Amino acid sequence: MNISVVGTGYVGLVTGVSLAEIGHHVICIDIDEAKVEQMKQGISPIYEPGLDELMSRNIEAGRLTFTTNHKEGFHLADVIYIAVGTPEKVDGSANLVFIEQAARDIAKYIMKDIIVVTKSTVPVGTNDRILEIIEDNQIHNVQIDIVANPEFLREGSALMDSFNGDRIVIGANNVYEASIIEKINEPFGLPIYHTDIRSAELIKYASNAFLATKISFINEIAAICERVGANVEHVAKGMGMDKRIGGEFLNAGIGYGGSCFPKDTKALIQIAGNVAYDFELLKGVVNVNQKQRTLLVDKLNERFATLVDKRIAVLGLAFKPNTDDMREAASIIITERLIEKGAIVIAYDPVAMENARGILHADILYANSVQETLHDADAALVLTEWDEIRNADPTVFHSMKNPIVFDGRNCFSVDVMREGGVEYWSVGR
């Protein structure tokens, strides 16, 4: 099958590469010329384990190409995937400008019957709107069908998730287009769930909102644990053994960040609000997460009379390990607060530092290793559980002025840190 993918961010690029890997001919289109030049050479513009190798292999096999030209990109396509961003607007709703532009681009250049597949996370009703824009603006009189096919991959394990996901959701109006998209995805060998378009759109938001709810729930339990002398890890383990609850996404810490949960929870509150429904539970989830992000700063404030001129080492900046993505990372607000309070902040992340430099406060200093970050620091904050950080021996903290560690990801064993001579503060333990 000839497939075009519009937008080569985390989702578009991984989708394009995965579809090429299972044998389709894929052309990826992006408006960012620098990105496209890089990708043509087999270099991924994002850090995602395994992506460079798979890209190169499929480029060499002649199944994967890149362009900035929509006309060229759509020329041979039987199916067009839309994977452009749907970022958050000031009011929390999803910004659909990129989606609408992609629809207009499709309308302008398609010359044969086509199925348009929406991978982007879009509010309920958006696929109807995409179809309307294309039909209103199409130059050639061809048949257009639309399919909602939300994406569930996680950054840092995106390829793994594409080939081993729990399900592929296909939302369509007719059996014909649903069967074509099923056929495209057949080689993945994953369970396929067919539904209507609006239900597919909502499955994506409901899934993210539910996972975010699990995280905020366990973070509130962690707060209670700290006050009653229980251990949140033990509580989560005991809860998760019940199959109805499940053990995943019950890691307490400094809350959820990233390009999806923060924006998608707020967008779902808006989607509900638009039909006069007050999604009270989800509002609570968002508020808890907001509080959680500055938990370590609150703990630092309790421990030190003042943070003025205190040297604070920050270990990990990305919103989660194995990605260079800084979108909605807790490190942004935490380092901002530390600087406001007069602290000297020195930070380290194995891969996200280049992105971080363009986003974080200009006064932040950067180090080249865990050891260099910790040297002479008054306190250390762990914000991302990179293996390099979580595998560190407690003795690494002995080069600090005083080995005082605030761990926002519960990376270390409380006992090992205590026995290792570290004053150790974690979340809910």
Ligand X SMILES: O=c1ccn([C@@H]2O[C@H](COP(=O)(O)OP(=O)(O)O[C@H]3O[C@H](CO)[C@@H](O)[C@H](O)[C@H]3O)[C@@H](O)[C@H]2O)c(=O)[nH]1
CB 417 → ligand X: shortest distance, Å? 20
Exactly one of 85, 258, 350, 428 binds ligand X (CB under 6 A); which one? Answer: 258
Q: What is the per-residue burial (b if ≥16 Cβ within 10 Å, else e) of 18-33?
A: bbbbbebbbbbbbbee
Output the six-digit token pair for 87.
């970022």
- Least spacing, CB of residue 175 vs ligand X, in Å: 27
By CB under 6 A, tell whether 251 contacts ligand X. Answer: yes
The annotation status of 155 as a binding-site residue, yes or no, is yes
Residue 42: both structure tokens together: 């087999």
Could you tell me how far CA 28 lies from the centroid of its own chain? Answer: 21
252 is in an annotated binding site: yes
Question: Binding to ligand X by residue 151, rule CB under 6 A?
Answer: yes
Amino acid identity for residue 376 in this structure: D
Q: Specify the residue, 16 or 428, whose C-beta has the smaller distance to ligand NAD.
A: 16
Q: Which residue number, 263 or 310, has a Cβ lying nearer to ligand X?
A: 263
Give the nearer residue to ligand NAD in terms of CB position, either 169 or 180: 169
Query: Using CB under 6 A as the criterion, what x/- string covers residues 260-279 for binding ligand X?
Result: xx--x---------------
Ligand-binding annotation for 153, yes or no, is yes
Alpha carbon distances (Å) from 299 to 266, 273, 404:
27, 35, 12
Greatest extent of the chain over all pairs of C-alpha atoms, in Å? 74
Contact 14/48 with Cβ under 8 angstroms? yes
* Closest CB to ligand NAD among residues 204, 299: 204
Q: Is the dihedral of CA 326, 329, 331, 333 positive or negative?
A: positive
* Cα separation, 347 vs 198, whole angstroms: 44
Q: Which one of 4, 7, 25, 114 is in contact with ligand NAD (CB under 6 A)?
A: 7
The option from ligand NAD, ligand X, none interacting with 208 (CB < 5 to 8 A, set by class) reads ligand X
At residue 85, what is the residue type? G
Taking alpha carbons only, the member of 365, 304, 358 closest to residue 329 is 358
Task: Provide the mask over 199-218, with x wherever binding to ligand NAD is found by CB under 6 A and - wherever it is not.
Answer: --------------------
DSSP 95: P
- Which residues lie across from 287 on neighbouring strands? none
Nearer to ligand X, 255 or 394 (CB): 255
Residues 31-90 that bind ligand NAD (CB under 6 A): 31-32, 35, 83-86
7 binds ligand X, rule: CB under 6 A: no
Helices and strands, counts by H and E, the chain: 18, 14
Catalytic site residue from 28, 225, 260, 411: 260
Considering the rule CB under 6 A, would residue 190 count as an interface residue with ligand NAD?
A: no
Tell me which residue of 122, 111, 175, 168 sits closest to 144, measured CA to CA.
Answer: 111
- Which residues line the annotated binding site? 30, 35, 86, 121, 152-155, 204, 249-253, 257, 263, 320, 327
Task: Tell me which residues are annotated as active site.
Answer: 260
- Which residues line the annotated binding site for substrate? 152-155, 204, 249-253, 257, 320
